[in-house]
Amino acid sequence: MAGKFDLNDDSVVVIVGSGAGGGTLGTELALKGINTVILEAGGRYEMEDFVNDEWDSFTQLAWTDMRTTSGSWRVAKDFANLPAWIVKAVGGSTVHWAGASLRFQEHEFKTKTVYGDVKGANLLDWPLTLAELEPYYAKAESRMGVTRTNGIAGLPGSNNYKVFEAGAKKLGYTEVHTGRMAINSAPRDGRGSCQQIGFCFQGCKSGAKWSTLIAEIPKGEDTGKLEVRSNSHVVKIEHDAKGKVTGVVYADKAGNLQKQKARVVAVAGNSIETPRLLLNSASSLFPDGLANSSGQVGRNYMRHMTASVYGIFDRPVHMYRGTTMAGVISDEAKHNPARGFVGGYEFETLSLGLPFMAAFLNPGAWGRSFTSAIDAYENTAGMWIVGEDMPQESNRVTLHATEKDKLGMPVANVHFDDHPNDIAMRNHAWKQGQAVYDAIGATRTMPTPPYPSTHNLGTSRMSEKPKDGVVNKFGQTHDIPNLFISDGSQFTTGAAENPTLTIVTLALRQADTIADMMAKKTI
Amino acid sequence: MTDSRFGDGVSRRSFVKAASAAALVLTAKAVINPIEAWGMETKGLAPETVQALIQAARDIYPHDRVPDRFYAVAIKDYDVKAATDPKIKTLIEGGIAELNSAAKQAHGTDYVGVGWEEERVALLRKIEGTPFFKTLRGGLVTGLYNQKEVWPLFGYEGESASKGGYIKRGFDDITWI
């Protein structure tokens, strides 16, 4: 039921989702004095509720509502109903993220120009430049307390990092450090410093890691201008005869449908739910779904070129002790087509606990090849690989023809095929990642396939021209002036870097835009 | 799984086979491991089936340092479910019957009687596309590896927040690098 703001209050901004995009936007608007309601599909769990247990935490936090998959990606075979590993809770996937906060590179905003025509790829330049975003990147880094920015010291190197760094240096890599992390290396902003607990993916129990749950939303709520309504799952966006959005319909905790009126609606449900909601909101005026005159809603789904490498050594590593992501190698992040592909990738250390190693090391594998690797868990070091994948029109979130959720709404199907560029990049990255561990005497290295997607991007892309995409450079939909997209769905292309910092940056910029437009009464 | 000790009422005549690391003893309603000192009362499946499941679980995910009791816990759920769900009972009993028949054909004995792991694995490879195998293997991923008691055998320490994390407990204690 309604809390602080009345369901019929049509002066509020309604935001769907409370993660990096929605949680930041809602807080920033409230700080500007704008009445805002965030509707979050999941429940609210605080620091003390989080559990240091991979499967129990997955049950507590993960988005496990029915989804389907298709396409040639391996996730569709191994995890047919779990295309993405993201969070359904207040704070969204900032509860789960590892904290890596790297800015995009200049060329990554103009891939069509720099990479040229790549067959089968739907490349497009962003209607934005790095220079335009720089002030907002700086604001986001300060707000999130990103290490190695604003005079904040880097985190200390863990065992997993030390192995990774030694291998990288032996191999000749030079851009190696403990990362730019939104994890406090010293107390800051009312939050303590990292206790090297591990379990960053399971919700930080010390509060050292930035999330909208603990570092943004409470500040917004303190203004009295922000209401976060949890267990409120938006099923439809409504509009008037002129095509302006007027509010949303959501199911409350009891499953009863409620209508919240709004002056502005911003959608930040992550890149699967956001297009699903736009498509499920089809009407006689917008028969193909809201903001979809381009036909691009749901298309160009990107998930980053990802993979992992695990290395086994003859002596203990204890990779699970300390932050999940403890360092980065950026030497391969540049665009260097001599390697046989466009774009670049980052190496970032990663550790999984024993239960998730068993589930993700090589899904479906059994027998001694598999179990001998698990037997060596204690002596294992791990890294994740994240690189730019090619946007393809056919990689797409669509509504399932027959499957419906418990509210009767069609579920999302996620179709994905690797582009040949993605495959070439992954093969290069596996080889280099294995070389990092081999360089310091690994007795065995393992090229591990992608996990269910944590970086979901591009399904409501930003474009200069309305025919090429869904939103303009401010995340405002081309078709409907008072409807915004505020999450990674906006990304025109994916870049090599983890997306959260850029999502927060865009949300801070969008908050200025929305406030300005509201003041000028253009929305 | 009950913690009952190997008692007087058990007839060794009913079964003694030395195919697995620890020979299990079967009664009409239980599977007993006298060496590890545990017994498991069967509810929905025949004791012979439970015994074969434990062996198959070990052959799918062989860890020589992990005692049978962890494999028994990992497959126990199928026995419990089989007591109330005829579909599960048919799936599991049928799957093991198929394995036994393939073993008899190839080796003249039932599955647990096949002496070498690689020979049993060859029998499993032939059925790895079946719903029985997929159910068994898929369930083991959590059934075996998500047992907190098994983690120390792999050197995994589990929960750490209540101990103050690893900042003073070895997050950077590597010495060989």
Closest Cβ opposite residue A354 in set B154, B164, B177: B154
Please state, as a whole number, how many other Cβ atoms lie within 10 Å of the Cβ of residue B136: 25
Q: How big is chain B, counted in residues? A: 177
Backbone angles phi, psi at A236, to 5 degrees: -160, 140
Return the CA Rg of chain B.
Answer: 18
**CA–CA gap between residue A515 and residue A509 (Å, rounded):** 10
Which chain A residues have a beta carbon less than 8 Å from that of B71? none
Between A431 and B18, where is the model more confident? A431
Q: What is the pLDDT of residue B23?
A: 78
Tokens of A291: 């903001």
Tokens of A445: 């290295």
Closest Cβ opposite residue A52 in set B137, B159, B167: B159
CB contact, 8 Å: B142 with chain A?
yes
Q: Report the chain A residue with the minimal C-alpha distance to residue B144.
A: A355
Q: Report the chain A residue with the minimal C-alpha distance to residue B150.
A: A354
CB contact, 8 Å: A327 with chain B?
no
Please state the rounded mean pLDDT for residues A119-140. 98
CB contact, 8 Å: A275 with chain B?
no
The pTM assigned to this predicted structure is: 0.95
In b/e form, how buried is each residue of B157-172, taking b as 16+ CB within 10 angstroms?
Answer: bbbbbeeebbbeebbb
Residues A456, A243: contact at Cβ < 8 Å?
no
- pLDDT band (50, 70, 90) for residue A248: very high
**CA–CA gap between residue A429 and residue A345 (Å, rounded):** 8
Q: Report the chain B residue with the minimal C-alpha distance to residue A370.
A: B61
Closest Cβ opposite residue A375 in set B63, B121, B141: B63
Query: Are β-strands A257-261 and A396-404 bridged in parallel, bridged antiparallel, or unpaired?
Result: unpaired
Contact B166 A322 (CB under 8 A): yes
Q: Considering Cα of A463, then A466, then A469, then A471, what sign does the dihedral take?
A: positive
The percentage of chain A sitting over the pLDDT mark of 90, rounded to a whole number, equals 99
Q: Considering Cα of A156, then A162, then A167, then A172, what sign does the dihedral take?
A: positive
| Neighbour order of strands in the sheet with A233-239 | A233-239, A245-251, A257-261
Please state the rounded mean pLDDT for residues A435-451. 97
Distance from CA of A401 to the nearest CA of B (A): 26
DSSP 3-state helix, strand, coil percentages of chain B (rounded to 5)? 50, 5, 45
Please state the rounded mean pLDDT for residues A474-500. 98
Q: What is the pLDDT of residue A3?
A: 56
CB pairs under 8 A between A and B: 114
Q: Please determine, for residue B91, whether its predicted confidence score (pLDDT) is greater than 70.
A: yes
CB contact, 8 Å: A499 with chain B?
no
How do residues B2-50 score in pLDDT, each as one tens digit?
434 333 334 343 444 434 534 789 998 999 998 888 999 999 999 999 9
**Coil/strand/helix, residue A80:** coil
Q: What is the pLDDT of residue B20?
A: 55
- pLDDT band (50, 70, 90) for residue A151: very high
Taking Cα atoms as reference points, which of A283, A294, A296 lies closest to residue A245? Answer: A283
How do residues A26-41 score in pLDDT, each as one tens digit?
999 999 999 999 999 9
Contact B62 A162 (CB under 8 A): no
Return the CA Rg of chain A.
Answer: 22
CB contact, 8 Å: B155 with chain A?
yes
**CA–CA gap between residue A477 and residue A462 (Å, rounded):** 9
Contact B62 A368 (CB under 8 A): yes
Which chain B residues have a beta carbon less than 8 Å from that of A159? 170-174
**CA–CA gap between residue A207 and residue A359 (Å, rounded):** 28
**CA–CA gap between residue A414 and residue A41 (Å, rounded):** 20
Backbone angles phi, psi at A436, to 5 degrees: -60, -45
Distance from CA of B138 to the nearest CA of A (A): 8
The mean pLDDT of chain A is: 97
Which DSSP state fits A409? Answer: P
Q: Please determine, for residue A391, whether its predicted confidence score (pLDDT) is greater than 60.
A: yes
Which chain B residues have a beta carbon less than 8 Å from that of A321? 157, 160, 166, 169-171
Q: What is the pLDDT of residue A319?
A: 98
Q: What is the pLDDT of residue B12?
A: 40
Which chain B residues have a beta carbon less than 8 Å from that of A156? 171-172
Closest Cβ opposite residue A317 in set B65, B159, B174: B174
Q: What is the pLDDT of residue A150?
A: 98
CB contact, 8 Å: A353 with chain B?
yes
CB contact, 8 Å: B116 with chain A?
no
Query: Are β-strands A226-229 and A36-39 bridged in parallel, bridged antiparallel, or unpaired?
Result: parallel
Beta bridge partners of A477: A471
Contact B165 A318 (CB under 8 A): no
Beta bridge partners of A250: A234, A258
Contacts of residue A231, Cβ cutoff 8 Å, sequence gap at least 6: A40, A41, A42, A43, A252, A253
Q: What is the pLDDT of residue B21?
A: 36
Which DSSP state fits A103? Answer: P
Q: What is the pLDDT of residue A488?
A: 98
Please state the rounded mean pLDDT for residues A158-184. 98
**CA–CA gap between residue B143 and residue A352 (Å, rounded):** 18
The mean pLDDT of chain B is: 89
How do residues A67-82 score in pLDDT, each as one tens digit?
999 999 999 999 999 9
Taking the C-alpha atoms of A162, A165, A171 and A176 in order, what is their torsion angle to the nearest 10 degrees?
180
Contacts of residue B104, Cβ cutoff 8 Å, sequence gap at least 6: B110
Taking Cα atoms as reference points, which of B156, B155, B159, B167 lies closest to residue A157? Answer: B167
Q: What is the pLDDT of residue A374?
A: 98
Residues A302, A487: contact at Cβ < 8 Å?
no
Q: What is the pLDDT of residue B36?
A: 87
Q: What is the pLDDT of residue B7?
A: 39
**CA–CA gap between residue B30 and residue B15 (Å, rounded):** 12
How do residues A314-324 score in pLDDT, each as one tens digit?
999 999 999 99
Which chain A residues have a beta carbon less than 8 Å from that of B165? 194-198, 206, 322
**CA–CA gap between residue A70 and residue A397 (Å, rounded):** 10
Tokens of A131: 């220079």
Place of tokens 């865009």: A506
Q: Considering Cα of A265, then A268, then A271, then A274, what sign does the dihedral take?
A: negative
Which DSSP state fits A482? Answer: T
**Coil/strand/helix, residue A121:** coil
Contact B156 A353 (CB under 8 A): yes
Q: What is the pLDDT of residue B142?
A: 96
CB contact, 8 Å: B87 with chain A?
no
**Coil/strand/helix, residue B47:** helix
Contact A196 B173 (CB under 8 A): no
Contact A162 B177 (CB under 8 A): yes
Please state, as a whole number, how many other Cβ atoms lie within 10 Å of the Cβ of residue B72: 23
Backbone angles phi, psi at A48, to 5 degrees: -70, -15
How do residues A338-377 score in pLDDT, each as one tens digit?
999 999 999 999 999 999 999 999 999 999 999 999 999 9
Q: Please determine, for residue B1, whether its predicted confidence score (pLDDT) is greater than 90.
A: no
CB contact, 8 Å: A319 with chain B?
no
Q: Considering Cα of A81, then A84, then A87, then A91, what sign does the dihedral take?
A: negative
